[in-house]
Amino acid sequence: MNHTTLAGTRPAFRTAAGALLALVAATAHPQAQEQPQWLTDALAREAKLPKSKTVSSVDGRLQASVPGEVQHQVERQSDAYSLMIRLGKELTVSCQVMQEPRDLAALLAETAEISFGELRKTNGEIEARAVQSSDAGAVGKHPFLALRWLYRARVKGEARVGGLQQFAADLGNATVYCANDELGYSRTFDAVARALSTGLRLDGKPVEPGYFGEITVISIDGQRVGVASTSFTRDADGDTQVSNKSALLLQRTPGQLIYQDVVDIQWVRPDGSLINAVQVKAEQGRLTENLRLNPDQEGRWKAVGTLAGKDVEFEIPKAPSSFVALALARRQLMAAPNPVGTSTEASTWSSLDLSRLLSTRATVLEPAGPAAFAVREELGGVTIEAVLDRRTGTIARARMPIGPRTMTLERIHQHGAF
């Protein structure tokens, strides 16, 4: 089946190594500051979680199990269902469930601006704000990003300190976003957001991932700042849609975010050969790459779309290796009796340079436990020391220096097989 990928619609993104490196290099290293004891005590507050209750939307399309009391009826407004979840007299968590994929990094950055705009109306001028911490990972079988902010406001001439917490989870065909503006309650807030994300049912069905999936956390100097995910779904003809996504969000200077969302979708035949592909990238919420790769009637491959705001068309000499083909080749390499020192090479279509095919090579360096090998990954001019899972042929973890800083990739979730 000749699937058509929709580059005109932008799902929430494959980790583009070159784009990530450039983004990290552009950010300043945040400096830790000591905080007064009263603030430490306020940030340590938590609320008791009541028993979970099942709630349904007025139209019956959404069901969820959440701790606390849901204030008001759950109704769809615009493209989202809104839930106000009250935990006793201490805390209210505001959540939205959107029945569409959203870019996680852009969602957090843009809703933060909206939230601070609302806080100015009630708390007065906000003199300073900064991300206190960021988090990323898996909620069930789905990726999430989270931020925790501190801000200082001037109320009738008196300085006040406040907080804002945000959580966004990509459920594939839906997105969950939660926020609250109290100091502290971080574990309580996290538990509520996770409960909603894992207990959600839409149109009577739980939100399920594909038949194979992976989630990888991206960290800079030990701080989780991004998440990447892979999901395989299969159609009636046996072809597979491989969706590789990444979201990265860093604080350039206190209160100023730099962020990007990338998506790489491939349609792949059962033998691993590529049918077509699309690459989309957004930086600071603006679309910077949107290209489709398809063969024409004569079998010539062409990449057509927009790049840096310009219409482009590139002819590609042959079909690149798909994500599946690369993984299968590396599996086969590691299955040899003594793979150390051997390599596998292929050509790939990467956002490092979408105008041509790039050579990619994986060289086995040494065993890394009973089910993995340390390898040197080379793609274009980028070299990464990584560990490959011999069962899947995909990266389990990787580490690379970026000037004085260190980026690490760590797979924290894997389900299914291919």
Q: What is the pLDDT of residue 232?
A: 98
Cβ burial of 347 (10 Å; 0-12, 13-18, 19+) is middle
Domain ranges (residues) in the chain: 33-208
Q: What is the pLDDT of residue 1?
A: 52
Question: Tell me: the pLDDT tens digits for 171-213?
Answer: 998 999 999 999 999 999 999 999 999 999 999 888 888 999 9
Taking the C-alpha atoms of residue 217 and residue 407, their distance in angstroms, rounded to an integer, is 10
**More confident position, 170 or 173:** 170
Q: Is the pLDDT of residue 12 over 60?
A: no
Q: Is the pLDDT of residue 14 over 90?
A: no
Q: Is the dihedral of CA 66, 69, 74, 78 positive or negative?
A: negative
Q: What is the pLDDT of residue 23?
A: 46
Taking the C-alpha atoms of residue 380 and residue 371, their distance in angstroms, rounded to an integer, is 28
Question: Tell me: the pLDDT tens digits for 279-290?
Answer: 999 999 999 999
Question: Tell me: the pLDDT tens digits for 301-311?
Answer: 999 999 999 99
Q: What is the pLDDT of residue 402?
A: 85
Per the CB < 8 A criterion, the answer to whether 64 and 55 are in contact is: yes
Q: What is the pLDDT of residue 32?
A: 45
3-class DSSP assignment, residue 126 = strand
Taking the C-alpha atoms of residue 81 and residue 171, their distance in angstroms, rounded to an integer, is 15
Per the CB < 8 A criterion, the answer to whether 380 and 356 are in contact is: no
Q: What is the pLDDT of residue 403?
A: 84
Q: Is the pLDDT of residue 316 over 50?
A: yes
Question: What is the average pLDDT score of the chain?
Answer: 90
What does pTM read for this prediction? 0.90
Task: Kindly state the average pLDDT of the residues 375-402.
Answer: 94
**More confident position, 416 or 382:** 416
Q: Does domain 33-208 have CATH number 3.40.1000?
A: yes
Q: Is the pLDDT of residue 15 over 70?
A: no
Task: Report the share of the chain in percent with pLDDT over 90.
Answer: 80
Q: What is the pLDDT of residue 93?
A: 97
Q: What is the pLDDT of residue 33?
A: 58
The DSSP secondary-structure symbol of 117 reads H
Taking the C-alpha atoms of residue 88 and residue 90, their distance in angstroms, rounded to an integer, is 6
Q: Is the pLDDT of residue 4 over 80?
A: no
Question: Tell me: the pLDDT tens digits for 64-74?
Answer: 999 999 999 99
Contact partners, residue 200, CB within 8 Å, separation at least 6 = 62, 63, 64, 97, 171, 174, 176, 206, 207
- Where residue 143 falls among pLDDT bands split at 50, 70, 90? very high
Question: Tell me: the pLDDT tens digits for 239-286?
Answer: 999 999 999 999 999 999 999 999 999 999 999 999 999 999 999 999
Q: Is the pLDDT of residue 25 over 60?
A: no
Q: Is the pLDDT of residue 27 over 60?
A: no
